[in-house]
Structures are given as C-alpha cells and as structure tokens.
Chains A and B, each alone.
Chain A
C-alpha cells in the first residue's frame, strides 16, 4: 500500500518508523519496473547501484540518522541528465553507450540527500518532441492505457481491433519520467521542461508536473535543448511531494551562472482554508483552436470552483500568446543548432567509420547519430542564424519573446496572483493516431498552452484534475509569478484537494500487487 501513495507523509513516515526498509522499497520498485517493462519508461535500470544506495540508506535509518525526507526514496531521472557511471543517452544513437564522468547538480543533490536512483527514463531524442515517441529506444506507453478506467470506457468501442493498437502516448518529452511516477515504479522523477516537456506528459499521465522558475534550479549536467528556456522539471504523485523535491534542488549553483544568487529556503505547503484573498486570472488566449470541449468544460468548472470558494476570478489577456509558438520555433532551433555542434564524434559519443577526411567523418557521424527531427531542427536553426537572416528571424523572435514576458508582467502587476489554464488541448491520443502527424506539427500543437511560461521563465505546474470521457487523465496548469513557487504550489495543493483525482487502477500490475484497489477514490469532482 505504501507504494501507491505519495512520498509524504506516508512513505517517509513508514521508513522512519521502520515499517518498510529502503531496501524493501527499492526491491519492490525494481520488480515493478520489470513487470511494467512493456511501458518502455526506462532506458537504463541501475539495479546494482540502486540496491547499494538503498543499503547505505538503511544503515542511516538503523543509526537513526537519515539525511532527510528523501532518504531511501526511490527516484528516476530523465535520460538527458548526466549520471556518473550510469549511461546517459538522450535516447539518441549519438550518445548510446555514453557514460558521463560526472553527475548533474540536481542528480548529485538528490543522491546527497539519500535518494535511491533506480534508473534513467525514456524521452524523445534530445528531448525534441511532445510524445515520447521519437527516441531511438522506441515510444513510451502511457500506463493509463492499461488502466481499468481506460479499458472500461475505450476498449469496447474497438474490441475487434488488436489491443496493441489502442495504447495511448504519454506526451513528452519527459514521458518516461511521467510514466514511471504514474505506474508507481518510483516516487519522484526528474524531467526537463523547455516548452512543456514536464507538464505535458504529467497531464497525460495524471501526475503533478512542476516547471520551476528559470534560474531557480541548476541546469549544470542537463544536456541542453534551449539553454535560455530549459528548466529541470519535477514529476510527483502529489503537490506536497513536488514541494519537497523542489526544496532539495533549488538554489544557487556556482557551476551554473544563470542560477539565482540568493539563498533558497525550502518550504512546507500550508493547507489553504481561505481562498477569498486570491485573485485567479483566466487568460482568454488559452481558449486556443483545437481545445477539446471536454477540457474547456473542465477548465471553467475549475474556475467556478475557485469562484465559489470566494476567490476573485477574472478573465485576463496575454495578447502576444499567439505569436509564442512561431517565436519559440526560431529561438529553439537556433539554440539547438548551436548546442548540437559539439556532437562531432571526436571527444565522445558515436563516431562514424567514414574516415576519408575530418569533414566527411563529421557529416557521417551526425547523419548516423541524429534522427530526422534533430537534424531538421539543426538545419532550420542554422538558417535562422545566417548573417543575412539573423535580424529578420532571431532578433525579431527575441523581441517577441520580450513582449510575451511583458504580457505576464502586466497581468501579474494588475493584481492577479495565479493564472489558471488547461495544460493540453485534449487527453492523450493513441500512438497510432499520434504518428500520423510529424513531430514538428505535433510539437507545435502540443506546446501551445505550456510554452509561453518558458518564454517568460515563469513557474508553472500541472495538476491532475479529472478523467476524460475515455477514462484518461486531464490536467490543468497554474502559472505563478517568478520565484513565487510557494504561492503557486499552495494554490495547486488546494485545488488538488478539491478535485480528488482518482488513482490509476493498473490491470497488468494487479497481478503482482493486490493492494491496487485499496485506494480507489471517486473519479470526478463537481
């Protein structure tokens, strides 16, 4: 039962009281990872080191000196964070077999606090995508595809078809991390969020996905997509857990010059009882083309929930939102073109056998090492950076980015505390349907609601809100003021408490663990 809940206070208390040992916990997670292997959530399982870490943790608990709430807690890390001694692949042929000599700062911080690293999770190649379908290790399957909730509602419609074709995507690019948390194989996972890569899969997998303020958490060791927008993301089962992990990661890192200088004080989230002083903004531009009526209804329901509880809910405008995606496309590909230049086969990673000349070796290495999506972005990024195009594309995109950020500043300056928006346009689509469109089209559609927060560097969190008609999770997004994570998560926690999002009922896992149904909760809120 301990495995199903959040980390705090249940598991932490169980560990402290000795009801479960870190080793037991680790072993149960590892066996769950094995039994859910078909989800393809993990690229690498670090069984040996995980068990060793658990053993160390156990010793600390026995001595009565655990390092903190995270001591002994099994976690997973997206495979674009460097982990010393454990393969870091970015789901790319380019880095297949690459073992980094150092830990990303966030990984090191988690290990320093006793967390047990189970493995590295799957993603789109170099985090470029919104489905977790475009990595060299294959797509990640959404655990909800195998839930009773989904099967009950969706399978009968297509019972003639092979069950295989019905599974839905996790969203991405941190789909492996979202699936890992959602399928109970770990309590928290690190993702990365450049345009929504943490919040999008969190929404599709029914977990909490936090994108902190840019500069609050070190990027050192995160293999970059867009340096000026990348933020390590946090995926957990509840908002409280996200706050705990945030507290363990946030703060200045001398190895990342873009982190804040001020000290960060970890916080505990209060239980909000009175929301009457709260001002919630509903940005009208997020009523985007393609937004499903179901999600629209859920969004207004959520707004009403705040209104009825006494909060001030007003419609606000972020007029430049509609330029966000095209602007993001220019800035993203430009930085991608630059960041990917280092993968030339010389110092590390894949190197082609082609050795006619250094140039031909570069070309072959990069053609063999990168998939079409990565190569396409490199090509367009280099185009935007050409001397003749720089002013027309890159500089303009930067200006638009400033306008987008200013939109948020104006709204927050007018007294709005938190913005409430949908996280995704719809619930997760079946893989077979998703791959009908190319990666670029998909990313453009899927990032539309999440990506402006990255442009402005603002903190944003996905909170699971309800199940769709098809029995799949739907999440809503809260966007807060810069560095006001405490306020943001406090409101998120209040909302989480109101909606009572149902727990996933995993059929496949049921065979291994009969506790599954113990935590059934109501499947809707109103």
Chain B
C-alpha cells in the first residue's frame, strides 16, 4: 500500500529525455542517498533527477508462548509438525480463540511507534489456496487494524561518518495482527512438497511504513531501529535470520514534481544488510530501465543475495483477488483505557491501553539520550552501545565497578572489546572477559598501577579466558608501574652505576 503507479507519466518522461542522458555507470553507487534525502543527481542532459521512493511492509513474529488463535506452543526449529493444534491444521469445526498476549504485544508496539490504538478493531479472512495455508484463508485485520497513524524516528550517519548523524522520521500507516503461514519444503528430486505447520498460526504484527524513505540505507536504518524497539519491548525477538522479522520493500522512482512511479515489491530479504543492497539495486534497475525507454511492471521481485540483484518472482496466477470477508468466528476486538474500563468486568477479559502505556520500558531513543546525559559520552557512542545486544548493560556494569570516568571507559568498550568480539563473531554475552574483569583491569590502569600499553597486553591475555585475574597477569608478566620515587631512583642509580659509559653516551645523544 505504498507508491501508487502511473506508467503513463514514465513513458512521457522517457520520450522527453530521449537523447542520451546517462547515469552513473553500473557498479558505481548511483543511488547516492546522502541522508539529506536528496534525489539522484541529474545526468549530463540536465534532465530533472530521479526521486526514489521506498515503503516497507514488515512482518514481526510476536514473542509469545502460544499461537495467535490456538494454544500450541511457539518455538523455533522444533521437529516438523510437532507444534500443531487441531485449529492450526484447520480440522473442521475448530474455532479461533484470540491470544491476549498477542494483543498486548501489538498494543505495546503501537504505543511505542506513536500510533493511535483503535479501541475497536476487526478480523478478516484473506483467501488464497496454498499448501502451507491449511484453512485456505489467513485471518488478518484488513478493514480496521489494531493501530494506525504512527511514526518512527531513526538516525543514520552522513557519508558513513559516525560523527555526522541525522534523524529522520517515517510514518507508520498501520499495525495489524495476523496469522503466520506454515512452511513448504520442495523436494525437487522426488517432486513432492513437504509441509511443516509448526509456524502456521503464529501471531504476526504487520507494520506498514509509508513510502517516506529514499534509499537502501534509510530503509535499513529504519528497520534496525524498529528491530531495537521490538526487542526492547519484548513484543518480538525480531531476529531476521530466524524469520522473526521479515521485510518486503516497495520501490518506485519518479521525476520531482511528478506522480509516483509504478512500484515493485521486493521480497525474500533476510538481513538488514541485504535490505539496503536489495533496495539500492532495485532503484538503480528501475532508473536504468526507464532511462532505456522501458517500463516498470507492477510485479513482485525476489532478492537473490548471492547474485546481489532482484529477479521477477514467477507468479503464475497473476493478480490475486483475496475475497476478503469479515471473520465471523471472532467478535470485534474491544480495547479499553482507564476511562472506559467497565467496573464489573473480569480482568482476564480486558486489555487496558493505559495500563500498558504506563509500563512501557524506555525506548532506544530515550535510553540513548539518558546514556549521553548520564555518562557524558558522545551521541554516536550511545548508538553503538544500543545497537549491540547487551552492550549497554555491559558498559554500565563496568562503569559501576570502576573509578575510571565513563567517557574513558567507553573507548575501551567500543574500540578494544567490540572490535575483538566482531573479529571473533561473538556476542556480548559470549565474551570471555566479563564486565567484572574489565572493570578490574581498568581500575589498575586508573590507579596508575599499569600503563595503558600494559593494560592492552593484559586484555589480550584475558581474552584467552584462562581464568586469571588482571592482577595475576600483571604480576606474572611484571607489568606493574613503579610508583615509589625512591625505588625508581634506586633503580636508576643502579643502572647508572653499572653502565656509566652508556648512560653518558645516551645523555650526549
């Protein structure tokens, strides 16, 4: 539901532009989205530049013990078809029963994304035949979704410099609750399809972002921020590799002042890095297509991460008519606030928006501001801290246990520790050096018992994870700084006494 198509305009634009305007050659990053939201620069002909438009549809799997409408457990990588209730398998006569936790997760997410929460939302059936959709329809919220009209602020750096960050906003059109489908596994050698219904019926939040972005980098930054918010709320684990966060991108390009171009939908994007690549590739492809006098088809394309390009998805049926219909087995979903809460209603039966609002945790943006204020670190440092799961906590724990100033601690965390972890593909939790050990080490440094160079040596030892304390390593390797003036004088004297000539020479040099 993003860019509206207008093929005619494109044809005119191309005719007008006939005469060899050229864009940046292939390979070069033509879609220079420079965070200021600019369009692609004009070609030599002086024709108006292209304006890429990117909208996103994001499916976030709700983190809950059981599915959206059934009691079966939700679990990643369980044995096939081991988490399937009668309802999930669409046995005749079974009925959906809405999972309260999923509703609360959607309300939480809606509030965090500044949405209006609809006090009354409705469920609909969306029909299509597919082997991993056992009922022949998906229960979703087509007419009145649970949350609408929100916004998401995200930041990205200009020209890849961490020191130059800008904040942008993308409007959130809606958040709707819906069922996930099962999984089809095609066995081509035996020409059969195997169905796993473990995922069938798991709760999803579909977050629809308006086409307010203009390049892959923006899309990636917006999704990254959303991911952090979901993880902070706990409403979704949002791990893309496990399919808990799935992103479809709607991409179109047009001339400034003209209507949006025909859009394509890019699917099959399974990491944030690939999202940026896929969007940029698709923008570039569309521009070249139009530049060469072609037209853009309103089609679904898949991103091939190996080839780094998008390819049309074979869609035999063409346009589907989903034959939406109200779901007759679920009454309207009614939510309450403190004012409208009925006095004599069972608490198990109601979801109170205000109650959820009051209990929202600090969102990443607030946490970042607090980190900057509380510890005197730079804003870009707060971004790095927040972007690594558990890193903020680690940092704060170190700060608590050391006399070193936070703005000095941050360097050790971001430069030494983080790069080590990245090098070895470790998460913060897997770090062989605990916050306690690092604090210990930094305390030695702070008390000037060791030099900064020595501290790095100790840290290198600590990574080995041999269970030694920093002090033990310092002693073992004799890395202590000597603080006693007399002792130093004595050492110096001894050196001078023994090596008089050399000392004099050194002095002379």
Q: A residues touching B (Cβ–Cβ < 8 Å)?
A: 81-82, 88, 90, 95, 100-102, 104, 219-224, 226-228, 254-258, 261, 334-335, 337-338, 340-344, 346-348, 358-359, 362, 382, 385-387, 390, 394
Binding site of A, secondary structure by majority: helix, strand, loop or mixed? loop
The distance in angstroms between the C-alpha atoms of A227 and B325, with both chains bound, is 12
The distance in angstroms between the C-alpha atoms of A462 and B167, with both chains bound, is 70
The distance in angstroms between the C-alpha atoms of A104 and B93, with both chains bound, is 8
Which of B97, B134, B325 contacts A394 (CB under 8 A)? B325
Contacts A88-B92, A387-B322, A387-B324 supplied; 13 other A-B pairs, CB < 8 Å? A226-B328, A227-B329, A257-B95, A257-B96, A335-B328, A341-B135, A342-B90, A347-B91, A348-B89, A385-B324, A387-B323, A390-B323, A394-B325
Taken residue by residue from 275 to 296, chain B's Cβ proximity to chain A (1 for < 8 Å, 0 otherwise) reads as 0000000000000000000000
Which residues on the B side are within 8 Å of A255 (C-beta)?
95, 97
Binding site of B, secondary structure by majority: helix, strand, loop or mixed? loop
Which residues on the A side are within 8 Å of B329 (C-beta)?
227, 256-258
The distance in angstroms between the C-alpha atoms of A505 and B131, with both chains bound, is 54
The distance in angstroms between the C-alpha atoms of A27 and B211, with both chains bound, is 72
Expressed in whole angstroms, the minimum distance between the Cβ of B287 and any Cβ of chain A is: 32
Q: Are A341 and B93 touching (Cβ within 8 A)? A: no
Q: Are A338 and B325 touching (Cβ within 8 A)? A: yes
Expressed in whole angstroms, the minimum distance between the Cβ of B315 and any Cβ of chain A is: 13
Q: Are B129 and A346 touching (Cβ within 8 A)? A: no
A-B contact pairs, 17 of them (CB 8 A): A220-B93, A221-B93, A221-B94, A228-B328, A254-B97, A258-B329, A261-B346, A335-B325, A338-B136, A338-B137, A341-B127, A342-B135, A342-B136, A343-B92, A347-B90, A347-B91, A358-B131
Which residues on the A side are within 8 Å of B325 (C-beta)?
334-335, 338, 385, 394
The distance in angstroms between the C-alpha atoms of A81 and B92, with both chains bound, is 9
Judge whether B28 is part of the interface by a CB distance below 8 angstroms.
no
Which of B90, B321, B330 contacts A257 (CB under 8 A)? B330
Judge whether B163 is part of the interface by a CB distance below 8 angstroms.
no
Q: Are A219 and B95 touching (Cβ within 8 A)? A: yes
Expressed in whole angstroms, the minimum distance between the Cβ of B186 and any Cβ of chain A is: 10
The distance in angstroms between the C-alpha atoms of A100 and B94, with both chains bound, is 11
Chain B's closest residue to A101 (CB) is B86
Expressed in whole angstroms, the minimum distance between the Cβ of B333 and any Cβ of chain A is: 10
A386 and B323 in contact (CB under 8 A), knowing A228-B328, A346-B195, A359-B129?
yes
The distance in angstroms between the C-alpha atoms of A24 and B131, with both chains bound, is 50
Which residues on the B side are within 8 Å of A341 (C-beta)?
127, 129, 135-137
Which residues on the B side are within 8 Å of A394 (C-beta)?
325
Which residues on the B side are within 8 Å of A101 (C-beta)?
86, 91
Q: Are A256 and B89 touching (Cβ within 8 A)? A: no
Which residues on the A side are within 8 Å of B96 (C-beta)?
257
Taken residue by residue from 82 to 123, chain B's Cβ proximity to chain A (1 for < 8 Å, 0 otherwise) reads as 000010011111111110000000000000000000000000
Which of B324, B331, B346 contacts A258 (CB under 8 A)? B331
Interface residues on chain B, size class: 20 to 34
Residues of B133-167 at the interface with A, using a CB-CB cut-off of 8 Å, are 134-137
The distance in angstroms between the C-alpha atoms of A340 and B136, with both chains bound, is 8
Q: Are B97 and A222 touching (Cβ within 8 A)? A: no
Which residues on the B side are within 8 Å of A335 (C-beta)?
325, 328
From B129, B322, B328, B349, name the one whose CB has the most chain A CB atoms within 10 angstroms: B328
Which of A102, A362, A385 contacts B86 (CB under 8 A)? A102
Expressed in whole angstroms, the minimum distance between the Cβ of A20 and any Cβ of chain B is: 34
Which residues on the B side are within 8 Å of A95 (C-beta)?
92
Judge whether B368 is part of the interface by a CB distance below 8 angstroms.
no
Pairs of residues from A and B, 8 with the lowest C-beta to C-beta distance, nearest first: A341-B136, A385-B323, A227-B328, A228-B328, A223-B92, A342-B90, A221-B93, A342-B135
Chain A's closest residue to B184 (CB) is A358
Which residues on the A side are within 8 Å of B93 (C-beta)?
81-82, 100, 104, 220-224
Which residues on the A side are within 8 Å of B349 (C-beta)?
261
The distance in angstroms between the C-alpha atoms of A334 and B328, with both chains bound, is 11
Taken residue by residue from 340 to 359, chain B's Cβ proximity to chain A (1 for < 8 Å, 0 otherwise) reads as 00000010010000000000
Which residues on the A side are within 8 Å of B98 (C-beta)?
257
The distance in angstroms between the C-alpha atoms of A311 and B193, with both chains bound, is 68
Chain B's closest residue to A224 (CB) is B93
Which residues on the B side are within 8 Å of A102 (C-beta)?
86, 91
Which of B92, B321, B331 contacts A386 (CB under 8 A)? B321
Chain A's closest residue to B88 (CB) is A347
Chain A's closest residue to B327 (CB) is A227
Which residues on the B side are within 8 Å of A219 (C-beta)?
95
The distance in angstroms between the C-alpha atoms of A227 and B346, with both chains bound, is 26
Judge whether B125 is part of the interface by a CB distance below 8 angstroms.
yes
Q: Are A387 and B86 touching (Cβ within 8 A)? A: no
Which residues on the B side are within 8 Å of A82 (C-beta)?
91-93
Which residues on the A side are within 8 Å of B324 (C-beta)?
385, 387, 390
The distance in angstroms between the C-alpha atoms of A90 and B92, with both chains bound, is 10
Which residues on the B side are within 8 Å of A387 (C-beta)?
321-324
Q: Are B86 and A347 touching (Cβ within 8 A)? A: no
Expressed in whole angstroms, the minimum distance between the Cβ of A170 and any Cβ of chain B is: 24
Expressed in whole angstroms, the minimum distance between the Cβ of B248 and any Cβ of chain A is: 21
The distance in angstroms between the C-alpha atoms of A224 and B327, with both chains bound, is 13
